[in-house]
């Protein structure tokens, strides 16, 4: 179909496709040096592999032991977890320079899902995960200005949009875009 999918109705199967030039670009690219911060079970590993990316290394900082065990199992050990696992105890300057970083820290401190009662924003202790992740990003950008960063966030609560929103963007060093 025109939407880059092959649909096999008799098997109730859909296969996502891409132009051959795009696949060749991915296959000929250098493997990613990937860092995931607060990524849970590291399901992004398979998403990226399914899109055709290869990894030189895939490091994850995740405090939850069960999530780490799941990531290790489903990736056949390809996801390597950085000790001591607690983001707060990881140094801002990491030994490795990465090409790609995915950050999925707590969104609750800013979420509009809290309804009419505004969340606490940076006054919420969980917001310090965001701050810590940004310190790592700043160091990585110094060492690799071309690092690709995907920082998952929420559409910020309207009561915090003019105060915490700009502070988030300052810390990240980029403008957030709602998708």
Q: To which residue do tokens 């990736």 refer?
A: 75
| Residue 34 phi, psi dihedral angles, 5° rounding | -105, 135
The pLDDT confidence band at residue 155, using thresholds 50, 70 and 90, is confident
* 14 contact partners, CB below 8 Å, separation of at least 6: 5, 6, 7, 8
Whole-prediction pTM value? 0.87
Over the stretch 74-102, which tens digit does the pLDDT of each residue have? 999 999 999 999 999 999 999 999 999 99
Pairing of strands 32-37, 100-103: parallel
- If you ran DSSP here, which 8-state letter would residue 156 be given? B
Over the stretch 104-139, which tens digit does the pLDDT of each residue have? 999 999 999 988 999 999 999 999 999 999 999 999
The pLDDT confidence band at residue 1, using thresholds 50, 70 and 90, is very low
In angstroms, the CA 129 to CA 114 distance is 19
In angstroms, the CA 117 to CA 24 distance is 50
* 129 contact partners, CB below 8 Å, separation of at least 6: 38, 87, 88, 105, 106
């Amino acid at each position: 179909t025109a939407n880059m999918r092959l649909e096999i109705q008799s098997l109730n199967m859909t296969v996502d496709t891409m132009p051959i030039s795009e696949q060749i670009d991915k296959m000929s690219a250098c493997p990613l040096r990937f860092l995931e911060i607060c990524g849970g079970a590291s399901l992004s590993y398979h998403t990226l592999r399914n899109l055709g990316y290869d990894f030189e290394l895939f490091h994850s900082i995740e405090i939850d032991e069960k999530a780490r065990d799941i990531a290790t199992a489903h990736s056949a050990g390809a996801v390597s977890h950085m000790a001591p696992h607690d983001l707060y105890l990881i140094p801002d300057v990491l030994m490795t320079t990465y090409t790609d970083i995915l950050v999925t820290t707590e969104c609750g401190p800013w979420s509009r899902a809290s309804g009419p009662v505004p969340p606490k924003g940076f006054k919420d202790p969980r917001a310090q995960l965001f701050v810590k992740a940004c310190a790592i990003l700043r160091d990585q950008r110094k060492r690799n200005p071309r690092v690709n960063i995907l920082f998952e966030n929420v559409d910020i609560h309207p009561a915090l949009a003019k105060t915490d929103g700009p502070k988030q963007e300052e810390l990240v060093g980029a403008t957030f875009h709602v998708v």
